[in-house]
């Protein structure tokens, strides 16, 4: 009986100890199950806290510390803090690799001492269908990556079209025109795409023909810069460098930028730098051409027969055989560009609501700007210099033909001299019917063969131009024995209106006037007096 009591007492003590303290003695090599389907292998006798390591695969070392081979709780790195493994929420955590699907932003979201403004260094970046659009632009936050459907490159002999989605070379060969057309045709099937052209000279045996895909097509073609990417027409190609002939569908948001077009006119008789023609159900709208250098096109630098919403900004057209640009487009905008040394007009356009501003148009063979059937044009702040080269007294700085109502010509500089000899006939020549409501204000004229402004039809509002005075005032002294005086008016032509006011009651009147002066007759003033006058000229 006493022995039974002793056994019961010992078991009770052990039971109480296990309940209060929560420890159990486990022999060496014992397998302990914590109750969550997770096993613990213990290497020697020690005390462990039951249930504390549930939810992970753990091993206890000789010191009673938990050592983890792997941890995957679905909580990311935050579990290290939540499990209280001597990692504070403010501590930095270094990962050999992290892939949560959130990109680099996960470092900030996980609050691992990474601020939004902190620098992040990548050992590598896999851009897949994207590309960095410049050499050494490794900071993708300052230089956002752009989508390239195809990247065209050359090794000097062969040409390659790399698929921006798959990374494969879909098209290649020694004929660059074919490679370009194959890539663009593929994009036309899905209706949109971007062609990125790498550095190099791309010699084109048959130009780049943008095919009509039969559906609305959004296309962007861009290079690595005008000094780095050159599209050169091959000898004897006799075609346009870039051409679209739409007959059934709409080419929209066509963007051309950051490359040189070389028409190679010394070795070609035909072809434009950029040609857009449409007919039937085809059209081309919302076009942007920027940072392009069009050199030596055999015919016109840019040629368009029908379009809408063209924006030409920051381009250079030089040395075209015909016009620098000949564009028929509603809502045309040509700004911040240089059109020089072309054989015919610098800029010729037929448009509605055209804006031609802040350009340099110089050294062309015929007119600087030629407008016909352009409604509501604004020609503002251009330098139109020494045009009509080789055609003295035949062409003008700005020539406005028929049906150009409400044209505003404001703040331009028009100079007609080439070397020591004026070549440009008139600064502005207005000719033909339908030119109502034209305004010419604040321009500067110099060195013209004939006249700053010639308004063949009349009705133009002209004022405050330097070199073409349309209003003037002054005073002229008269003496006691005089009854007539000649006054030089300084106007651009014979005054259309003269107002005179004497300083005495002399009954003055204008006897006659011409392009240089007018005569005033009056009664003897009997003393030195003055005549005050105002003269205006309306061509």
In three-state secondary structure terms, 504 is coil
Maximum Cα–Cα distance for the chain, whole Å? 167
b vs e for 470-502, b when ≥16 Cβ sit within 10 Å of the residue's Cβ?
Answer: bbbeeeeebeeeeeebebebebbbebeebebeb
> pLDDT tens digit string along 181-191?
999 999 999 89
Q: Which DSSP string corresponds to 377-416?
A: -EEES-EEES-STT-TTT--SEEE-SS-TT-EEES-EEE-
| Cα-based distances in Å from 388 to 384, 452, 536 | 11, 15, 31
- For residue 380 the two structure tokens come to 């503002």
Q: Which residue has the tokens 């027969």?
A: 305
Question: What pLDDT does residue 420 have?
Answer: 81
Residue 81 and residue 85: Cα distance in Å, rounded? 6
Residue 256 and residue 292: Cα distance in Å, rounded? 8
| Cα-based distances in Å from 152 to 160, 201, 368, 497 | 6, 11, 37, 67
Residue 3 and residue 307: Cα distance in Å, rounded? 112
Question: What pLDDT does residue 392 have?
Answer: 86
Question: What pLDDT does residue 246 have?
Answer: 86
Give the closest residue to 198 by CA, choosing from 169, 221, 174, 228.
228
Residue 304 and residue 269: Cα distance in Å, rounded? 19
Residues of the chain with pLDDT under 50: 1, 4-59, 71, 76-83, 104, 106, 108, 110, 122-146
Residue 49 and residue 68 in contact, taking contact as beta carbons nearer than 8 Å: no
| Cα-based distances in Å from 517 to 99, 477, 491, 494, 512 | 89, 15, 9, 8, 9
440 CB-side CA count, 13 A: 30
Give the closest residue to 151 by CA, choosing from 109, 187, 189.
187
Question: What pLDDT does residue 351 have?
Answer: 86
Kindly list the structural domains of the chain, giving each domain's residue range(s) and its CATH number in brackets, ordered by start.
Answer: 2-102 (no CATH), 211-463 (2.160.20.10), 471-536 (no CATH)
Q: Residue ranges of the alpha helices (H) in 300-444?
A: none
Residue 49 and residue 64: Cα distance in Å, rounded? 10
- For residue 225 the two structure tokens come to 């810069």
218 CB-side CA count, 13 A: 5
pTM of the model: 0.70
């Amino acid at each position: 009986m006493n022995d039974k009591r002793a056994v019961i007492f010992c078991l009770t003590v052990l039971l109480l100890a296990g309940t209060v303290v929560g420890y159990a003695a486990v022999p060496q090599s014992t397998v302990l199950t914590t109750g969550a389907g997770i096993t613990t292998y213990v290497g020697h006798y020690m005390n462990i806290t039951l249930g504390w390591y549930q939810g992970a695969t753990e091993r206890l070392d000789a010191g009673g510390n938990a050592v983890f081979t792997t941890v995957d709780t679905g909580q990311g790195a935050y579990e290290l803090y939540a499990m209280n493994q001597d990692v504070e929420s403010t501590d930095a955590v270094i990962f050999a690799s992290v892939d949560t699907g959130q990109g680099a932003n996960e470092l900030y979201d996980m609050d691992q001492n990474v601020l939004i403004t902190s620098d992040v260094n990548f050992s590598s970046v896999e851009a897949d269908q994207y590309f960095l659009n410049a050499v050494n632009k490794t900071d993708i936050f300052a230089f956002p990556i752009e989508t390239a459907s195809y990247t065209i490159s050359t090794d000097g002999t062969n040409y390659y079209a790399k698929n921006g989605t798959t990374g494969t070379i879909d098209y290649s060969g020694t004929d660059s025109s074919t490679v370009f057309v194959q890539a663009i045709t593929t994009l036309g099937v899905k209706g949109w795409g971007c062609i990125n052209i790498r550095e190099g000279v791309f010699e084109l045996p048959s130009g780049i023909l943008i095919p009509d895909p039969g559906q609305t097509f959004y296309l962007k073609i861009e290079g690595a810069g005008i000094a780095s990417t050159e599209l050169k027409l091959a000898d004897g190609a006799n075609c346009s460098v870039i051409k679209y002939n739409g007959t059934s569908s709409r080419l929209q948001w066509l963007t051309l930028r950051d490359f040189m077009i070389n028409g190679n006119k010394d070795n070609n008789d035909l072809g434009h730098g950029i040609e857009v023609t449409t007919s039937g159900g085809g059209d081309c709208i919302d076009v942007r051409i920027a940072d392009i250098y069009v050199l030596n096109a055999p015919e016109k630098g840019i040629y368009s027969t029908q379009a809408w919403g063209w924006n030409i900004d920051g381009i250079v057209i030089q040395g075209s055989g015909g016009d620098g640009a000949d564009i028929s487009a509603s809502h045309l905008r040509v700004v911040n560009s240089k059109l020089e040394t072309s054989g015919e007009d610098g800029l010729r356009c037929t448009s509605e609501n055209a804006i031609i501003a802040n350009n340099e148009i110089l050294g062309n063979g015929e007119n600087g700007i030629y407008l016909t059937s352009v409604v509501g044009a604004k020609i503002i702040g251009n330098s139109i210099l020494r045009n009509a080269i080789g055609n003295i007294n035949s062409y003008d700085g700005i020539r406005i033909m028929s049906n150009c109502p409400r044209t505003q010509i404001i703040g331009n500089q028009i100079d007609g001299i080439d070397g020591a000899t004026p070549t440009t006939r008139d600064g502005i020549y207005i000719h033909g019917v339908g030119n109502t409501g034209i305004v010419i204000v604040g321009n500067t004229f110099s060195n013209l063969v004939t006249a700053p402004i010639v308004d063949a039809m009349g009705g133009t509002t002209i004022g405050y131009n330097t070199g073409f005075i349309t209003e003037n005032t002054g005073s002229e002294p008269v003496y006691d024995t005089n009854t007539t005086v000649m006054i030089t008016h300084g106007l651009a032509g014979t005054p259309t209106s003269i107002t005179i006011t004497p300083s005495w009651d002399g009954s003055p009147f204008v006897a006659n006037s011409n392009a240089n002066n007018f005569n005033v007759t009056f009664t003897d003033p009997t003393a030195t007096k003055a005549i005050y006058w105002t003269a205006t000229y309306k061509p």
